[in-house]
Amino acid sequence: MPNNIINALNKEQLKAVTSSYGAQLVLAGAGTGKTKVITSRIAWMIHSGIRPESIVAVSFTNKAAREMQSRLSNIIGEKTAKKVELSTFHSFALKLLRQYHKEFSLQRNFSISDENESLNLLRESIKEFHLEEILSLQDASQKISYYKDNLFTEEDFKKQKNVFDGKIICKLFNSYNRRLRLFNLVDFDDIVYLTVLGFKKNPELLNKIQDTFSFLMVDEYQDTSFSQFQLICMLSSKTKNVCVVGDDDQSIYSWRGARPSIISDFLKHFPDANKVTLEQNYRCTPNILNAANSVIRENTERLGKELWSEQANLHPIVIHACENERDESLFVVDKILSLKRESGKLNFDNIAILVRSNSQTIPLEQVFIEKNIPYTIHGGTQFFDRKEVRDLFSYLKFAHNSNDMNSLFRIINLPARGIGIATLEKIKEIHFLNKTKNPTSDIFVALKELSYEHKGIAEFLKNWNQYGEKLKNSTLKVDISSTLRDCYENIGLKKDILMSSANMQNAQFRIDIVERVFNVIEKLELPEESIQSVVDALHLDKARFDIAQETKNKVQIMTIHSSKGLEFPYVFLIGVEDGILPHEKSLALESGIQEERRLFYVAITRAKYRLFISHCGFRKKGRASGKDLEPKPSRFLSAIPQQLIIHEQTDPNSEEARRMDAARKLFELFR
């Protein structure tokens, strides 16, 4: 291993990197070089004689996994780096489910159901037990997800003290899972759920996997859910060679099953674990770090650390009091243009605007368009959720899994072929009847039966046999993209887009989105090229569509949650008011306020050099409650030491200030 890699590590990083065996917790603060530590540690292990094939490192996003792969390749070379299993929890677990599908009681070529498919199947189960009046689809979905993350089985439901969950939800849970398997589907929660349950039932298989992967590393460990923690414990129970890297101060996904206590849970499960704390920050200026430290210090349930930096202090933090959302947007634009004047070489993509929720972006977009500021919004309407993209994926998914009736029903009537709900129900009925007689019967038998009496089905079958079968038999991603394009152009989706769009501009916009999908498929990095690999990659790596979006030299607008793991020279944090940050739904519980404080901490530590915080005196949109139209500055701001801050406010003579003053006087007059 090159000496320059070791020499580039600080004292604490070196401790973490050179400890290869046994359990280890690396408590890594924001910007302390955790990716550098992870990749250097893997390189050190390989340099010390550990086989690269025996190492698995998991993160929570494909982007982070790709970053680790890239950095590791730079240290030890691409050929060796590719031997290490670098992926996400779900990608790693899915690989196991695919490889040992029989042992996990799954059919070959199962598909992953997307959110809409899952909800449709769950809706049918709710109707089966006549629960429509007492259980909403959303609540049912959350309960199913909760019980899968907590690894519930039939026996666990029997032990439930809550009779409704123990009896009714248990039936719903089982019914929903049967419907998934009927169509050869697993949902997103199933990927880890089925893996852990499968290992519990099959110790021999677990032993085999433990022998294959005897060294485990986990990035962003604080985001781990209960089922993922159990998977970590099972995989490492034999050798105890597990290293987790995380930060309890950045635990912001409780709604996804994560909790800050997962850090202390690790130390309880592995009492002999070595603990290393990384506190030297290489990202932010001392002012920004001191503000972040002061804010997060008010949280009580944390292991504790103090970030510090050797960087020079050049700028204080600006906290600007705005009149309203438009004034706030004008403040942001004025500051951006000022920064641009100060540094002529400044690219707009060095600037990030962080919001608590997407609804806050509307006033910003209006002012940015007016002032001709280029911008891009991350995490708005996702490409994967767009109708035309979901329709296109249905061609892929149906080609991969002919039992995927939901995908078939999305595409069979595109464009309209007179195939309505009654015909779809008839297809389903005949298919299920055929399967009772012959379990290997596929959907095409039913379609062929009905094609003699229905021209629309005959037309679809003819087109599918000509184009869909080619897609089904394609293996190289270039061929998959090409044959998928043939399906799109000839089976009916492109025609449907042209017919259903309001005008040609809208049609062209939707066609351009579909074209982006073809580009993404051709650029996918896959362990092996197959239609199954493409379907899995697109399901588990939806951020690919953000990557395909042009972001160069545009201001980056995103939620704080989306910004995690990123850094920007200039950060604007807007709407820092009680009711937004902390969010009003979190105010009832101390645990909710503490999570919102962690979210604020994450936002602060995205800024490298300059941080601008703003709040409004009047806000008419972007809040769930319309009662308080004069919000107070966030309670979190009082924790920031005054010597770190410059307070600003909108010029009282500005047009927006005068308009707001007149509105207040009118309000007082009528009150």
Active site residue 250: yes
34 marked ligand binding residue: yes
Instruction: Please give the Cα distance from 325 to 670 (Å, whole number).
Output: 24
Catalytic residue among 606, 608, 610, 619: 606
Number of Cβ within 10 Å of residue 267's Cβ equals 14
Phi/psi at 426 (5° precision) = -70, -40
Q: Is 35 annotated as a binding residue?
A: yes
Known binding residue 31? Answer is: yes
Amino acid identity of residue 399, one-letter, is A
Look up residue 94 and give its DSSP letter: H
Give yes or no: 127 in active site: no
Spatial separation of the C-alpha atoms in residues 135 and 363, rounded to whole Å: 36
The annotation status of 28 as a binding-site residue, yes or no, is: yes
Rg (CA), the chain: 27
- 34 included as an active-site residue: yes
Handedness of CA 124, 127, 133, 135 (dihedral sign): negative
Active site includes 35?
yes
Whole-angstrom distance, CA of residue 169 vs CA of residue 162: 10
Any binding-site annotation on 575?
no
Active site residue 606: yes
> Can you name the residues that pair with 317 across neighbouring β-strands?
645
33 is in an annotated binding site: yes
* CA pair distance 279, 52, nearest whole angstrom: 29
> Catalytic pick from 114, 190, 219, 391?
219
Among 303, 304, 267, 302, residue whose Cα is nearest residue 23: 267
Q: How many CB atoms lie within 10 A of CB 470?
A: 17
Q: How many CB atoms lie within 10 A of CB 348?
A: 19
Which DSSP helix (H) or strand (E) runs through 507? helix 504-523
Structure letter (DSSP) for residue 572: E
Contact 24, 44 (CB under 8 A): no
Nearest-CA neighbor of 319 among 573, 76, 19? 573
| Dihedral (CA of 415, 421, 427, 432) sign | positive
**Catalytic member of 222, 250, 360, 559:** 250
Pairing of strands 317-322, 568-573: unpaired
Q: Which of 220, 327, 536, 578 is catalytic?
A: 220
| 379 is annotated as contributing to ligand binding | no
Distances (CA, A) of 93 to 187, 324, 500, 546, 581: 13, 48, 40, 24, 35
Catalytic residue among 35, 195, 222, 559: 35
Q: Which of 12, 13, 15, 34 is catalytic?
A: 34
| Residue 61 marked ligand-binding | no
Strands of the 568-573 sheet, one edge to the other? 375-377, 555-559, 351-355, 568-573, 607-616, 317-322, 645-649
Retrieve residue 411's tokens: 């595409």
Residue 484 one-letter amino acid: L
The token pair at 656 is 């927006």
* Residue 16, both tokens: 């973490």
Contact 314, 609 (CB under 8 A): yes
Map residue 372 onto helix, strand or coil: coil
Sequence ranges of the binding site for ATP: 28-35
Sequence ranges of the binding site: 28-35
| Catalytic (active-site) positions | 34-35, 219-220, 250, 606
